[in-house]
Chain A
Amino acid sequence: MKKSLALLLALALVVSMCSFAIATEAKTYSFEIVSKGFQSTYWQAVLKGSTSQAKLINDEAGYEKVKFNFVGPDSESDIASQVNMFESAVNAKPDAIGLAALDVNALNANIAAAQEAGIPIIGFDSGVPNAPEGAVLANASTNNYVAGQVVAENLYAKIKDRIAAASAPVRIGEINQDATSESITNRGLGFIDKFIELAGADGYKVAVIGNEKYVTDSKGEKVAESEANIIIEARVPAQTTAELCATEAGVVLSQADTLAIFGSNQTAAEGIITANEILGVCGSDDTQIIAVGFDSGTVIKAAVTAGTMYGAVTQSPVGIGERLIDMLLAAASGEAVEDTDTGCAFYTAANIASEEISQNLYD
């Protein structure tokens, strides 16, 4: 009797352990991903990467191991909408949250709530800079400051002879869709700082004018506009709309001393292209304004291929989406996660069709 009872208990223990193992293995991880929105096809590429990576994981696991809900506001200036979406994401009690913050300060309270609820947060794209300590475990993103520097390096190489030959100060325009998000400000400042460094090494004085954020936070010696050889004019529209970006770009392109212009994201770069359709001043020749952009999309790709836009930096939005799912799964499983730099590359008409570049471009 005692032996039978012992055998029965042992059997029950084994069965329950197996059930537990099966339940653990069959756990479905649910993630909420709050992006900056769908204002550009860039975010659709991120979604594509996340979708394909989730499918890969689920196919390998043989069941739906990972599922996610990808949301974002209609416009990247709609901070209030993103705050509401993030609050809903926290209330959904997911296993982890992915976040690309439009304005970290606006989200601080909800981030604290997620931390209290024990929900790990992974940042992506611009991530969540200056978040409460320990709230964001890691980021899957481009190093935007470095990306801005890459643009400056390629642009300076293209126009330095024209700067040397100029008899009067020249202007470099920079169109940034905002002065609040980490990605845009870092790209803008990375561009400005690198340009100042390169031009300074050749003996030029560079003044930064325009939007206060970019003027104040740029490194390097502060030079007055009247004393400068090169003037970098940083402009930010009131809202992140195509119309306003095009208007700001048009003002810069209309200036007689403008030599080059940089749009620090897809919307700003498309604004430059729109303004140029009226003004017809951009191109790749030494007599034209050299325009450089960021990301891709049908319009930018066509402009780069045609030479209207000299070049642009591409991130790896698909790669960001893929790495995000991996990092969310690791965070939800209690594994250690680290920042992942998903990289960037400068492309022109010469290399746009290469495999390295084309796999990251999207329509």
Chain B
Amino acid sequence: MTRVTGKSILKAIGTQRLVIIGVLIVLFAFFSIASESFRRYTTLITMSSYMYYIMLMSIGVTFQLLAGGVDLSIGTGVICYSIVGSFIIRQMGMPIGVAMLVTIGMGVAIGFFNGVIVAKLELPPFITTLCSMMIVRGLGSILTGGMSGVWPMAGQDGSWFRDLFKVTIDGTIYPVGMLLIIILVTIMSLVLNHTRVGRYILAIGSNKEALKLSGVNAARWHIMAYVISGFFAGLAAIAYAGTFSNITPGTGAGLELDAIGGAIIGGTAMTGGSGSIIGTFLGVCLISLLKTGLPYIGLQANWQQIITGAIIITAVTIDMARNRRQRAG
């Protein structure tokens, strides 16, 4: 029987993830010491609220990155799907459950579209999803006549969806959305590591030709990676609507960078074939901590972007150095 030791636990967690955990602890301590306002319970609520939609996008896009691709359409997609959902509720008078299904359905449909173009027509993922990013950006505005989106606010019919992310009991807010995130991270980790779809997506990222030659319908599983990303973009759209009061059409470009950055910081290789959902979770936590914490220490807004970019580029450099070492070894 294998003994569980501290060393074996550390090995199971992985070096990169340990580094991220360490950086998270150090940064959190630094912000707490530097800013009295940061040391409040509400800061955790703020951080989690602004993290949900990025985390959901990031979980989904991890599967595409693992397959050796990328999805640039998830940012504008979140806004588009969210606005369409709002239109269904406010202009069409449909129940919020229907709006949520349509929102997720649109994400799946666009994901499927991306997947077919990439997997069947073999267009580069970057170009494909760049084009679908532009299409989706305009689509929401056209479908809704350019109107901004507002999902049911607190106290209105249908506002129960906000309780999926936070509930207020006796004046205290509880970030129940984190439970949802943890459940999804667990499920998707199992999907990635213990199901055929996960194994094939990893194999596509490692060596798609070899997978094809072994008789597997690689295109089907490649499309599945994009469908998963689209599904999570749909969930992220609901989370976005639950956090932000007003959803403006035509925006969203750039949201995908936080999601992709989180996955890469968490150890997902940009070349595909290697990565984890838990790593993605930690990477997004780091990005969210920076976005929430840096304003508290009086740093001008543009420095915040510089620091976040520097951290992502460091993570990518470490990832590439690790890959070179593995190939050489």
Asked if residues B243 and A274 are in contact (CB atoms below 8 Å), the reply is yes
Asked if residues B37 and A279 are in contact (CB atoms below 8 Å), the reply is no
Give the segment of B13-21, B108-116, B200-208, B246-254 that binds chain A: B246-254
Asked if residues B301 and A277 are in contact (CB atoms below 8 Å), the reply is no
A205 to B301, CA, bound (A): 27
Q: How large is the interface on A (under 10, 10 to 19, 20 to 34, 35 or more residues)?
A: 35 or more
Q: Mark A276-305, 1 if CB is under 8 A from B, else 0.
A: 011110000000000000000111001000
Which of A237, A246, A275 has a CB less than 8 Å from the CB of B301?
Answer: A237
Asked if residues A236 and B37 are in contact (CB atoms below 8 Å), the reply is no
Which residues from 208 to 257 on chain A have a C-beta closer than 8 Å to any C-beta of chain B? Answer: 211, 235-239, 241-244, 246-248, 250-251, 254-256
Q: How far is the CB of A263 from chain B (nearest CB, A)?
A: 12
Which of A40, A247, A299 has a CB less than 8 Å from the CB of B150?
Answer: A299
Asked if residues A242 and B301 are in contact (CB atoms below 8 Å), the reply is no
Q: How far is the CB of A119 from chain B (nearest CB, A)?
A: 27
Residues of the A chain whose Cβ atoms lie less than 8 Å from the Cβ of B292: 247, 250
A297 to B147, CA, bound (A): 11
A280 to B172, CA, bound (A): 10
Interface centre among A239, A247, A248, by most chain B C-beta atoms within 10 angstroms, is A247
Q: Which residue on B lies nearest to A41, using beta carbons?
A: B148
Which of A38, A242, A243, A267 has a CB less than 8 Å from the CB of B249?
Answer: A38
Residues of the B chain whose Cβ atoms lie less than 8 Å from the Cβ of A277: 154, 245
Across the A-B interface, the 10 shortest Cβ-Cβ residue pairs: A238-B301, A74-B250, A254-B37, A299-B245, A251-B295, A298-B150, A242-B244, A299-B246, A238-B305, A270-B246
Q: Besides the contacts A41-B148, A75-B250, A254-B296, what 16 more A-B pairs have beta carbons closer than 8 Å?
A: A39-B248, A39-B250, A74-B250, A75-B253, A211-B300, A242-B246, A242-B248, A243-B50, A243-B244, A246-B50, A247-B291, A256-B37, A277-B245, A280-B173, A297-B246, A363-B148
Residues of B within 8 A of A (CB): 36-38, 40, 42-43, 45-46, 49-50, 137, 141, 146-148, 150, 153-154, 166, 171, 173, 243-246, 248-251, 253-254, 291-292, 295-296, 300-302, 304-305
Between-chain CB contacts (< 8 Å), 6 pairs: A41-B147, A74-B251, A75-B250, A239-B254, A242-B244, A270-B245
Residues of A within 8 A of B (CB): 37-41, 44, 74-75, 211, 235-239, 241-244, 246-248, 250-251, 254-256, 266-267, 270, 273-275, 277-280, 297-299, 302, 363
